[in-house]
Chain A
Amino acid sequence: MKCPRCDSEKTRTMVKSPVGDVWEVFVCENCWYSWRSTETPVVIEKFKLTDEIIATLGVIPPIPPLDI
């Protein structure tokens, strides 16, 4: 199954519904997008991710240098 946001195949089931077998939540291990099987996820163009975009995302908060 492809990730709706980054098209990666590295997706898996995160969890199944605690009551009944009525839905599953999937997660992408490349971009950490998650969605429920009962949804039809539509990620708009602006929020699509590629490996290049992920590599240049802002870091919040910045990681400080290690104390020596």
Chain B
Amino acid sequence: MAKTYKDLREFLATLEEEGQLVRVKEEVNPEPDIGAAGRAASRVPNGPAVLFEKIKGYKGQVVTNVHGSWQNHALMMGMPKDTSTKAQFEELNRRWDKFPIPPNVVTRDEAPCKQNTMSEDINLFEVLPLYRINEQDGGFFISKASVVSGDPEFPDDFNKQNVGTYRIQVKDKDRLGIQALAMHDIAVQLEKAERKNERLPIAIALGNTPLVTFMASTPVGYSQNEYEFVGALQDGVPTDIVKADTAPHLFVPAGAEVVLEGYIIPRVRVVEGPFGEFPGSYSGARLQCEVQITHITYRTDPIFENLYLGMPWTEIDYLMALNTSVPLYKQIKESFPEVVAVNAMYSHGIGVIISTKCRYGGYAKGVAMRLLSTPHGMPYSKIVIIVDEYVDPFNLEQVMWALTTRVQPSKDVTLIENAAGMPLDPSSYPAGMTTKMIIDATTPVPPEPNPRTVELLKDPVDTEKYIAIIRDLQKAMEDK
């Protein structure tokens, strides 16, 4: 059974034991220190989480870059920290099939997130050391929240309850701006509430066990519950949840550091942004929804977990790498069992590489079109590369080999114009419309002609043996 974590604190302890968490003990300024450290940590090889113990003017601690390296990602899954990306992808796929594992509902007394309550004179700054992440951000942002909301039409339907990550701007001591893009689940719920001019209750959970955060940013079906996936990804160990205080139909992670409760104000939009976004550029100011916070619960001495995002790669690219790849793989695999792996790690799946065996001519193009018709792939995926089944899509050297030696652009590159795009992709114009490109980098199979068949090079016999010999010799030199 894989190691699992009840809450963020247990995970931080493991990261520290494994040398993947560092502490800054000296007092720092909120700006620019915390943002700069988040940027720096993802540039350092094997980037650790960075915990700030003292921030000028604030009570609590901040931790950043918790998910920001493949080592931390492997430890999140309870695997050895040197596990390869492809092996982590395969293990995630295996555990994914355990869905659903119903969560364990605990009482209010048993839930650490209820240790302290603030229900009047709400002041977010008393509980959270808020800070500006990037210089041109329009304010202080909460970038790593798990936002829980229900479907107003089916408030008691647990499966339609959504846990998602949306960017949040602090607008006042008790008020937040939130980005609910039309393509996101929460927008479906909000529209139902706004049609009736009703408030949409929400609970914002901060500082969660790492697989809760991971699932909150995973694109799953509208009626698939994220907590049931957390149990699956914990290899069958249910995760603990508890009722929210002000909206008892909503469930929050029991071990959360901080839970902000309130509601989206119906039919109101206020200036939000700019915000440095995951494609590596700022998204400008827009009129967006606002949340009134009415109630806060928090653990004693809460730790504020937030992430840096900027020019890729940063923590968000690690967080949204395999959790974008796995659901797309599962959906495509259902129709095309020949598909071997999906790498959708580039800007949340705007760029995707799929490896597949081709059953007949034109197969690669069909696989690409299946990707482009999945709920996530339709708006997001723009550059799609299909490679043969023996090419590892997580190995970019191998992918470049396929592009350079398998692609005849005049027939293998296809453009699909005027298609859905991701609005935050600055090349989409108007925002949300784009051209898709499919590159078929597979070897032609009949009935597609392949007039110049080749014999692929194979590794000499004993190559594997010599890999071990060379590695041992190298290690012996290091040990000297």
Chain B residues within an 8 Å CB radius of A18 = 57-59, 123, 125-126
Who on chain B is nearest to A48 by CB?
Answer: B285
Nearest 5 CB-CB pairs, A to B? A17-B57, A34-B139, A22-B57, A67-B195, A61-B182
With the chains together, A32 CA to B140 CA distance in Å?
Answer: 11
Asked if residues B56 and A22 are in contact (CB atoms below 8 Å), the reply is: yes
The tally of CB-CB contacts under 8 A between chains A and B is 109
Asked if residues A61 and B190 are in contact (CB atoms below 8 Å), the reply is: yes
Asked if residues B132 and A58 are in contact (CB atoms below 8 Å), the reply is: no
Is B164 an interface residue, CB under 8 A from the partner?
A: no
Q: Which residues of B contact A (CB under 8 A)?
A: 29-31, 56-59, 123, 125-126, 132, 135-136, 138-140, 170-173, 177, 179-182, 187, 190-191, 194-197, 267, 269-272, 274, 282, 284-289, 431
Who on chain B is nearest to A56 by CB?
Answer: B287
Chain B residues within an 8 Å CB radius of A65 = 195
With the chains together, A47 CA to B271 CA distance in Å?
Answer: 12
Chain A residues within an 8 Å CB radius of B195 = 64-67
The residue from A22, A31, A44 contacting B136, defined by CB atoms under 8 A apart: A44
Asked if residues B139 and A32 are in contact (CB atoms below 8 Å), the reply is: yes
Chain A residues within an 8 Å CB radius of B284 = 46-47
Is A63 an interface residue, CB under 8 A from the partner?
A: yes
**CB within 8 Å for A64 and B139 given contacts A18-B125, A36-B31, A39-B132:** no
Asked if residues A60 and B288 are in contact (CB atoms below 8 Å), the reply is: yes
Question: How near does chain B come to A26, taking the closest CB pair, in angstroms?
Answer: 11
With the chains together, A15 CA to B57 CA distance in Å?
Answer: 11
Interface residues of A in 28-44 (CB under 8 A from B): 31-36, 38-39, 42-44
The residue from A31, A38, A63 contacting B269, defined by CB atoms under 8 A apart: A63
Chain A residues within an 8 Å CB radius of B197 = 66
Who on chain A is nearest to B129 by CB?
Answer: A18
With the chains together, A23 CA to B286 CA distance in Å?
Answer: 28
Chain A residues within an 8 Å CB radius of B136 = 43-44, 47
Kindly list 10 other residue pairs between chains A and B, CB separation below 8 angstroms, not including A57-B287, A63-B194: A17-B57, A23-B56, A32-B171, A43-B136, A47-B274, A47-B284, A61-B190, A64-B191, A66-B195, A67-B196
